[in-house]
Copies of this chain bind each other. A is one copy, B any other.
Amino acid sequence: MTQALRGTSIIAGQSVPGTNGTTKAIDPSTNSSLDPEYSKLDATQVKRATQAAADAFREYRATNPNERAAFLEAIARRIDGKREEIVGRAMAETGLPHARLNGEVGRTVGQLRLFADVVREGNYHGVRIDPAQPERSPAPRLDIRQRRVPLGPVVVFGASNFPLAFSVAGGDTAAALAAGCPVIVKAHNAHPGTGELVGQAIAEAVFESDMPSGVFSLLYGSGSEIGQQLAADPLVRAIGFTGSRRGGLSLAATAAAREVPIPVYAEMSSINPVIMFEGALDSESSGAPELAEQFIGSLTGSSGQLCTAPGLVFVPAGGRGDAFVAAVSAGLDGQTGQTMLTPGIAEAFAEGVSDLENEENVSTVGRGVPGEGENAPAPVVFSADLAELRSNPVLRNEVFGAASVIVRYSDVESLAEALDELEGQLTVTVHASEADNAAVTSLMPVLEDLAGRILFNGWPTGVEVGHAMVHGGPFPATSAPATTSVGSLAIERFLRPVAYQSVPVALQPEPVQDSNPWSVPRQIDGKITRG
């Protein structure tokens, strides 16, 4: 390693040893602990980070598009520069394979560069101009201009299952920094070393780019204690969170009870229904056996520990549906479990699987074998009928890991009713051929009310980072269904609109000036103009 892990927090550019005990990462494949020790911060130390962020806010938000975009690119470059070091440490801390983590580094730096483009393009300013109409009667219209301004310091809680793309320099961090908000990351205790390497990259980029040091901090400590303190801190203006429903709701409750409530963008829970139609199972190009193989691949990748893993698959009762189920059963035979992220996650998975096994009207379709080493349980698929799903909440719980339930349905009407009864989802997937179009057409409004992303003839795992992506959806997929945590639209989480009425040109912010010095797209009298 070119730079030693220090085991300390980073607060406004300084390495800060904590005074509140220590913690170590655990290699989940062996249950052994990994050096170094990470020292945990006490409440006073945590407060230094939010104060530094608040102090940095007005200087940071005043950066121009090139400065801010270059800063994001500097972070990307520095992460890319220690790619192997990061991947190596992340493998040890998470049990995830090299290819997956290497891809995740690519996604992380791609995300940062996407937001650099967004900053330069400038559409995110949301500029609207209604020019004065001095001649209007009965009263003249005054000049009104609108843009979005950043909210202030943002706290990010990373996810265990994406130690890079949803962690220290993940989507929330990139979006908040792009919006002009300082970021405080609560480091995930399951991958502290990975987090520190990325945190060092950001701190170096802050220094290199001459940004105010408080624009970034990385804090080690107890998730619940520090989390509650940060959510309650009056200097914090928004929270990004990816993780458990319990964790997200706890932060949301604290944030709502503040004297000044703040938004919590929590991505929490989703079982990602997949709906198979006869036409797809009959298809020559990808019939039942091929779809079964793809399903198993999507379910078992990353040991099923993906927010978008297919946890519920609706399959026609009888006919080609039987062939699909038989192929899944056969396909699981050869499947070996992969190491899960933490012993705790593996334990929760075992409990969720056991709950399903104990249900009278749930049968086991197939099961693989445990992998080598610790915490590598066998993937498993269950099945039940539609009536059982509708009456039994156990089947609708998320089991985080490679477990899924196949639900056999007889008609599209009762399928639609069952879908309407599900909780909000990140994704819903349809496998259908043209022959199924009539049935699918009637289902589209149901799917739109159910999920943030609707996809056809593919699998929900693998989330493209672009402008059109929505990684969100109705509660409890996220606490904030009007937004996304992946893709360029995420920048809007950290902005709010301000109107400028009759403000002299010399005092107008650049994006709303008539001369449009930053060449941003705008709406003038409600009509779009290119920048």
Q: Which residues of A contact B (CB under 8 A)?
A: 58, 61-62, 117-118, 121, 123, 128-130, 139, 141-142, 144-146, 149, 151-152, 252-253, 256, 260-261, 263, 423-424, 434, 437, 440-441, 444-445, 448-449, 451-458, 462, 464, 466-470, 472, 474-476, 479, 481-484, 488-489, 492, 495-504, 506-507, 509, 521, 523, 525-528, 530-531
Q: Which residues of B contact A118 (CB under 8 A)?
A: 526
In the complex, the answer to whether A482 meets B468 with C-beta atoms within 8 Å is: no
A314 shortest CB reach to chain B, Å: 17
* Known contacts A144-B469, A252-B256, A441-B506; 16 further A-B pairs (Cβ under 8 A): A61-B445, A117-B526, A118-B526, A130-B467, A130-B468, A130-B469, A146-B468, A146-B470, A260-B423, A437-B506, A441-B507, A453-B499, A454-B499, A454-B500, A469-B499, A528-B528
- In the complex, the answer to whether A142 meets B499 with C-beta atoms within 8 Å is no
Find A499's partner among B61, B144, B261, B452 (CB 8 Å cutoff).
Answer: B452
**Do A503 and B144 touch across chains, with their CB atoms under 8 A apart?**
no
By the criterion CB–CB under 8 Å, are B498 and A452 in contact? Answer: yes
A502 touches B467 (CB 8 A): no
Q: A130-B466, A452-B498, A453-B499 are in contact. Are A479 and B146 (CB under 8 A)?
A: no
Cβ distance A425 to chain B, nearest Cβ, rounded Å: 11
Measured between beta carbons, the chain B residues less than 8 angstroms from A437 are: 504, 506-507
**CA A398 to CA B466, docked complex, whole Å:** 45
A-B contact pairs, 9 of them (CB 8 A): A117-B526, A128-B489, A260-B423, A441-B506, A441-B507, A452-B497, A468-B523, A472-B496, A528-B531
Instruction: List B contacts of A472 (CB < 8 A).
Output: 496-497
Asked if B498 and A451 sit within 8 Å, CB to CB, the answer is yes
For this chain, the copies found in one complex come to: 2
The answer to whether B502 and A464 have CB atoms under 8 Å apart is no
User: Contacts A146-B470, A499-B454 known; A475 to B261 CB distance under 8 Å?
Assistant: yes
Closest chain B residue, CB of each to CB of A503: B456
Q: Which of A61, A252, A453, A488 has the most CB of B within 10 A?
A: A453
B-side contacts of A441, CB under 8 Å:
506-507
Q: Which chain B residues lie closer than 8 Å to A448 at the CB level?
A: 149, 498
* Interchain nearest-CB distance for A495 vs B (Å): 7
Residues of the B chain whose Cβ atoms lie less than 8 Å from the Cβ of A261: 252, 475, 479
Q: In whole Å, how far is A445's beta carbon from the nearest beta carbon of chain B?
A: 5
CA distance A483 to B151 in the complex (A): 13
Known: A424-B260, A500-B454. A467 touches B523 (CB 8 A): yes
Q: In the assembly, what is the distance between CA of A3 and CA of B454, in Å? A: 48
